[in-house]
Amino acid sequence: MIKNYKYGELFCGPGGLSLGAIKTELQKDGDEYRITHAWATDYDADSCKTYKNNICPNDGKFVICQDVSELVFESLPQIDIFAYGFPCNDFSIVGEQKGFNGGFGGLYSYGLKILNSMKPLCFVAENVNGLTSANNGVAFSQILRDLENAGDGYNIIANLYKAEEYGVPQSRHRIIMVGFAKTSGLWFKVPKPITILNPVSAKSAIENPPIEKNAPNNEQTRQSKQVVERLKYIKPGENCWDADLPEHLKLNVKAAKLSQIYKRLDPDKPSYTITGSGGGGTHVYHYSENRALTNRERARLQTFPDDFVFHGSKESVRRQIGMAVPPKLAQIIFESILKTIAGVSYNSVEPNINNNKSLFESW
């Protein structure tokens, strides 16, 4: 028997979470457990096109490109699993950490509308690790309370996941909250990391196997002569502040010196965090060639397969890749969700976030 769990997502972006979900399958006692697309929404047209063509190319009716504030929730099909990586701009440790006081902070509440109206069996909510400290920790505590009390109530497990410990060739740390309806009696368990001792390196991800030159989204960025000259002095793993640069190549910056500015990848370590925006010096730089990575190489570091085609301009594609959840990490989460539903045990660890506190028990 096929046990199919219908999946819906707000703020879907290009589909990192969804790709992990739909690739997940589980066999138990002759039954097949799977997750299938029901609907997804985002306000960005390029992201919606990317999502539609890669996640549900034969069923794009319910990929809705619309501002969430204008969305008619009653028009969406019923779902069993709900997911959303609510926009994190106001919670990011890189930004001003405005939390609820920022323009994006309250967007998580639209997920509450879904939980209250559809009461799905399970939900997944993702955000940056700066969420715990926004508004002095008040925002995170409020979000947990609201999610727990949504619908008929949810048993929630929150955890800070380090993507490099789950086979992703990138140091990317994100909070993921998984909730099961209290009426189900189910509790999620944090899957045990698999690559703590042997993380996947940036070089291995980019070169194994080699990327075809005509692969989609693989156009190189034209570098100025000054950038090329500057990179010649920067060793793998170094940034422009570490390197011994000639005076004419140094940056005239007196304020905060972000560590990722003109930083080359270390070929033997996971990449630093791939971001979706930023000016000169933030494009992620190759470990041996004097250039920024292509979008296809960035997508490799995010664990998107090479046949996953992103739509839009080069900068739009960069943003989509940088804002996405790595599909490999997402698949591990959804595999654990299906195992929880099916009653299949799996290796797990204790969550590193205490739901009763607004800050990590240890950092």
Cα distances (Å, whole numbers) of residue 218 to 17, 215, 295, 309 = 22, 6, 6, 10
Question: Is position 56 annotated as part of the catalytic site?
Answer: no
Q: Count other Cβ atoms within 10 Å, centred on residue 259.
A: 11
Specify the residue for token string 């570490």: 242
SS3 content of the chain, % helix, strand, coil (to 5): 35, 20, 50
Query: In this structure, what are the phi and psi dihedrals at residue 275, rounded to the nearest 5 degrees?
Result: -110, 165
Output b/e per residue, 104-141; b: 16+ Cβ within 10 A: bbebbebbeebbeebbbbbbbbbbbbbbbbbbebebbb
Q: What whole-number distance in Å separates Cα of residue 145 and Cα of residue 25?
A: 31
**222 token code pair:** 């034209």
Could you tell me whether strands 31-42 and 25-28 are parallel, antiparallel, or unpaired per DSSP bridges? antiparallel
State the catalytic residue, choosing from 12, 48, 56, 88: 88
Write out the catalytic residue numbers: 88
